[in-house]
Structure 1
């Protein structure tokens, strides 16, 4: 993966960020990816390296010590990092979701208290707690509640969240819950959807309980857990949005995050393409490198085209976001197409490797397993198609 392949449309600063992350990923991330996957252990030294580069503050405004990256910069950084390890890129993107929520919805006191340290050191590591065991694609069905206690000016959280990235290593969570409060600032208490809001909850709060680490098909180095709340008390000042505004805030955050996931899918696909090309040039059959066989060349041509097309969709979503346009459909198009490209390209990369591609000796096996999650998290492919279809009909 080279800077030239990323495209000339990048500004000098965006290209510099891409090159910086690409160099770090090649030197520090990719060499540890296979072992981290095998041992299912997150490489904390890599995380510290990301913090030293300022990447844990990628979406934190400059006034709080962050990078203040625009959408394109965020996307190219995610692509380059995922080219080294999707598990690491995913951990960073979720951390960035948390810092983005604090930056956009938090009070000045909350921003000053949390963002500088999260940007500079990458700790506490951020978590984003929206999905639940029975409320995945439709978060409006969530059952986690937050009951206001006027005597202590606290909210008492009860419920369970699922599929939480950084679950065991995280230090602060953005938690979405339905406020169980008959006097919700004049809101209609009969409509539970109008009660959803978000809270900033430190992981060391009493009643904040981290569940077992999930055993997954891919993304094994990234710790994914459930989190439950058992009379978990948080100060009222830790509420980030008014009741009834939490769900729209979540959707807005997820739309931004989908661009990052799409970029990560492009990074995985590019890594698989690079591995397949390199292998085809070295592997000989019938007295010549298989790269000279037309069937293989056509596979690589299709793979390269898919990667380029997905990357362009990501860039268009970034352009619309930076222009202040409604980019929800563009973000869904990018995630839908890029995740499908990641699956098809990694599949073909294994096919080009033949039997060797089915073994853990070659990275394409891990890339194939990792690629699947890009079709699922932060909105499944089916959800993305639904959003795109609404755009087609102007709904």
Structure 2
């Protein structure tokens, strides 16, 4: 059987010498994450995906490496720049979208919500534990009937004396059954508010969604809240309205637009290695014009996506990034990576449908990534609104 082990890592992104655009510290962070994944994840990820297994034991190791909430300041977080965070997401998703999803939800949704909207007591209680990987967080916004329109959520919280009573259900929640704390968004008489719901709170339960075809090396759950009583200290005091959870989603979407490049790069690098070693008609298939056309087209799209990601990261570091920028990045880069993964699979022929090679696993995962944290359609309409001034997706 042919192997991809000899492929030069990142070869597909070196045509434009993109590494020269990075600082030494940024390259060091990217290299450290890649080496960790090569040792601890890559030898097992195909089997984990097939077995629908998330490696919970890796979480403290991710914390030790500084990957959890790495772009946040203080409370045990690394406080790196946006480029470094993006490069870490790129390497994580090059291994598997499920692993990047875990890190995104932990750091850019659960931790960011507490860091940005929480009280000092909430930050002190949860952020150091979450950063170290001693605790896991999840983010409950989506409901079965309200994905693209979270403003219609049915989960609600009502005041009862000094407490709140939380009732409802959330769907498609990454890390749900693993979580030691859930960040839950609910409708109240005062508008949308966020609450911290620790594991074991009476009335709070989580059940896993087991019939997934994508993101199989990731835990996805349904959360249920049956008259859950919470003190007012569980409320995120600085979160007012739907803008709060949407701000958190923009943080996570930023990681996705880099992560998609990683999935595309891994697919293309593996296809390059396979095409160079697979012999047909007495020559490697990489010597045939049709194969080279595929490889060239994919390399152009991949490098364009990477340059877009770096541009957006620099806008973010400068404090100039806007939601429409992130929508453009996620839509373009996920769409490009999905096309690359599908095309790479064709280079492997029949072998490409096995877990021995990554492109089809990436393609299936990217089908989910294309939908979650804003569907392709919603991101397209966000861009359309910026261009025309008309919001086509509101009532």
Normalising by structure 1, what TM-score?
0.92
Across the two proteins, how many residue pairs are aligned to each other? 377
Structure 1: gaps spanning 5 or more residues: 185-194
User: Where in structure 2 are the equivalents of 1:41-60 lying within 5 Å?
Assistant: 41-60=53-72
Q: Which residue of 2 aligns with 1:350?
A: 345
Deviates more, 1:281-290 or 1:247-256: 247-256
Tell me the distance in 1 between the aligned counterparts of 2:210 and 2:362.
Answer: 19
Shift of 1:53: 0.8
Tell me the distance in 2 between the aligned counterparts of 1:80 and 1:311.
Answer: 13
Q: Which residue of 2 aligns with 1:198?
A: 194
Shift of 1:31: 1.2
Higher relative CO (Cα under 8 Å, sequence separation at least 6) belongs to: 2
Q: Which residue of 1 aligns with 2:286?
A: 291
Q: Which residue of 2 aligns with 1:189?
A: none
Tell me the distance in 2 between the aligned counterparts of 1:128 and 1:394.
Answer: 31
Q: Which residue of 2 aligns with 1:35?
A: 47
Query: Alignment partner of 1:159: what SS?
Result: strand
Q: Which residue of 1 aligns with 2:126?
A: 114
Q: Which residue of 1 aligns with 2:244?
A: 249
Q: Are the counterparts in 2 of residues 349 and 364 from structure 1 also a CA contact under 8 Å?
A: yes
User: Where in structure 2 are the equivalents of 1:250-269 lying within 5 Å?
Assistant: 250-269=245-264
Structure 2: gaps spanning 5 or more residues: 1-8, 391-395
Q: Which residue of 1 aligns with 2:3?
A: none
Q: Which residue of 1 aligns with 2:205?
A: 209
Deviations 1:209-239 (A, max 9, x none): 1123232111101010110100111110111
Tell me the distance in 2 between the aligned counterparts of 1:235 and 1:349.
Answer: 52
Shift of 1:360: 2.9
Q: Which residue of 1 aligns with 2:114?
A: 102
Q: Which residue of 1 aligns with 2:5?
A: none
Is 1:220 aligned with 2:216?
yes
Is 1:89 aligned with 2:100?
yes
Tell me the distance in 2 between the aligned counterparts of 1:144 and 1:123.
Answer: 29
1:235 to 226, 231, 235: 231
Deviations 1:132-163 (A, max 9, x none): 0110001001010001111xx11110000000
Shift of 1:329: 1.4
Shift of 1:315: 1.6
1:325 to 320, 323, 338: 320
Deviates more, 1:157-166 or 1:81-90: 81-90
Query: Alignment partner of 1:225: what SS?
Result: strand
Q: Which residue of 2 aligns with 1:158?
A: 167
Query: Alignment partner of 2:177: what SS?
Result: coil
Q: Are the counterparts in 1 of residues 46 and 356 from structure 2 also a CA contact under 8 Å?
A: no
Is 1:23 aligned with 2:35?
yes
RMSD over aligned Cα, in angstroms? 1.6
Q: Which residue of 2 aligns with 1:190?
A: none
